[in-house]
Structure 1
């Protein structure tokens, strides 16, 4: 069954610095073995100016749970996650079976 990894990236301490680094970060994600599709999104700001619950989401699509699990155990994933952590933003990662596309 197709699987996606969703990364919910929290609000960084320095959004401008995060955004400046983001193209390189997403380029690293594109190097994950077995990756079929990458979907990146930026969370809309709230109209009242209060902080959003997250800054960005990144969805990584794979053919199967096994492919996704293998991909995150590679050196390419290590480089990607180290760079993501280095941005100063935390994140939540979710593995999901895609039931309907």
Structure 2
């Protein structure tokens, strides 16, 4: 079963600075061992101007839960999460079992 790791990235204090570092974040995420697909998305702004619930999402797809778990324990994941933490943005991570594609 395919496993997806979803990172929900909260609104950063400085969105412009975060966006400048985001290209590097995607590049680091793409180096995770066993990664089959990466899907990056930016959350649409609300029409009434109120803050969105998050700034971005990043979905990382792996062949199995074991592959996803192994990937986040690697040096490549360490570099990715260290860089993400260095942006000042907070995030929530979810491991999901893909039921339908």
> Is the structural similarity TM-score above 0.5?
yes
Corresponding residue of 2:76: 76
Note the alpha carbon deviations across 1:51-91, whole angstroms, 9 max, x for none.
00000000000000000000000000000001001100000
User: What TM-score, normalized by structure 2, do the two folds share?
Assistant: 0.99
Task: Give the Cα–Cα distance (whole angstroms) in 2 for the partners of residues 51 and 89 of structure 1.
Answer: 15
Corresponding residue of 2:86: 86
Gaps of 5+ in 1: none
Corresponding residue of 1:38: 38
Gaps of 5+ in 2: none
Figure out how many residues of one structure are paired with residues of the other and give that number.
101
Moved over 2 A (4+): none
Give 1:42-81 correspondences, 5 Å limit.
42-81=42-81
Partner secondary structure for residue 83 of structure 2: helix
Task: Give the Cα–Cα distance (whole angstroms) in 1 for the partners of residues 86 and 11 of structure 2.
Answer: 14
User: What TM-score, normalized by structure 1, do the two folds share?
Assistant: 0.99
